Amino acid sequence: MTPLEVALPMAPRRILVVGAGVGGLALAAGLRDGEHLAVLEQSTELRASGGAVTLFPNGLAALDAFGVDVTGTGAPVGVMRMHRGDGTPLMTIDFAEMARRTGYPVRNILRRDLLRLLADQVPAGVVELGTEVSDVAPHEESATVLLSDGSSREADLVVGADGTSSVVRRSVLSAQPARTSGWMTVQSLVHGSMQGVLDDRSGASYVGRAGFCGIMPVGPQLTLVWFDVRVPAEGWRTVDAAWLREMFRDYARPVTDVLGRIETVDPFAHRTHEVPDTWGRGPTTLLGDAAHAVPPTAGQGANQALDDAWALREALRSDGDAVRAVRRYESHRVPRVRRMSQVAAAERPNQVPGAATGFVMRHVPARMAGIGHTALVRRWSSVLSGSRP
């Protein structure tokens, strides 16, 4: 047993997790022993929107701590090659260096596969689908969860893992909705060989005036393609493959080749929450997008939710007082999440490096770029920090 797996015995608590996305299921997997646990999900099935996610070492380390093995799923990415929109090389990041320094690689995985692997670690009956929460009322040592059917549930702790439009956040923290930034991401999955576009275990990105295009393997004969673009006047829901082909028609051939193979798209707007000092009142707290929605430009959305779940699990395992445990969890996560949020918010998908910046980027060794990216992820992570809440 490693130091991270040592737990203190204590009486089981009634814990209600609202939301069965990546963060909610990860927390349920981490707390599957020793607690009276229920995960309340308003959808009638596990949500699989979003196509694929990129798991960085912090996300994979958290999954490892929860006993979730993803090595046989998805595809590892050893190198990321960055270009201008016209194909001019900018920088190569050696992601394999991250694996050498942390013990965990960078891996792309379908969101539905990640949810399935997490759900497999949760005992039967814990996830309650089709259960919609309408309000949460925190008390001094307990909380009441009101359901849309008029019934209610009592808990020693309520965790809001219900996304950017979180009912729990609205109830216990702030009714202010997440802000839209005017940018959006459009994902698509392309089937078949990418020979001539990508090397094995490599990804590529292109940035130009129209926006950003990323291309990464997700598995054998399956590739994730995504575009970060400004939301058109007609709204983000109107975007389709034809619109993308027109927007990126002047980009380098790998981009236009991929666009010619896209059939369906999955668009979503970029939304941001301020990161408050505390994430709840009494025995309530938040994790993932409910606490700190950020643009996906740093590639940390799912990873930060997993990091949150690990930190909350550790705080609860080491402290029998739920209120004290969640405040410790929040104080451990807030500075890390804020650092990540600042980086993500500063990224502009159509910000093309100037001549001087481009010259410097081209001359940074790939290994050094990998070391730098590793340092960033460590600054954003709890599970890689070597300390517990």
> Side by side, which strands form the sheet with 36-41?
127-129, 36-41, 14-18, 157-160, 284-286
Q: What is the pLDDT of residue 3?
A: 43
Note the CATH number of domain 11-69+110-179+271-349. 3.50.50.60
CB-based contact 283:141 (threshold 8 Å): yes
**385: its two tokens:** 């920090």
* Bridge partners of residue 145, in order along the sequence: 136, 153
CB-based contact 226:271 (threshold 8 Å): no
Residue 163: closest CA among 67, 21, 11, 260: 21
Rounded Cα distance, 216 and 109, in Å: 10
Rounded Cα distance, 201 and 104, in Å: 15
Helix, strand and coil content of the chain, in percent to the nearest 5, comes to 35, 25, 40
> Side by side, which strands form the sheet with 179-191?
89-94, 79-84, 202-208, 211-219, 222-230, 179-191, 266-272
Q: What is the pLDDT of residue 208?
A: 97
Residues ≥6 apart with Cβ < 8 Å to 20: 28, 39, 40, 41, 43, 46, 47, 115, 119, 127, 129, 161
Rounded Cα distance, 373 and 389, in Å: 24
Rounded Cα distance, 203 and 205, in Å: 7
Residue 85: closest CA among 261, 255, 299, 260: 255
CB-based contact 167:133 (threshold 8 Å): yes
Length of the chain: 389
Q: What is the pLDDT of residue 9?
A: 56
Averages of pLDDT over runs of 10 residues in the chain (389 residues) are 49 94 97 92 84 96 97 94 96 96 97 96 96 97 97 98 96 87 93 80 94 94 94 86 96 94 91 93 97 93 98 95 97 97 89 91 96 97 93
Q: C-alpha 71: how far from its chain's center?
A: 18
Q: What is the pLDDT of residue 2?
A: 46
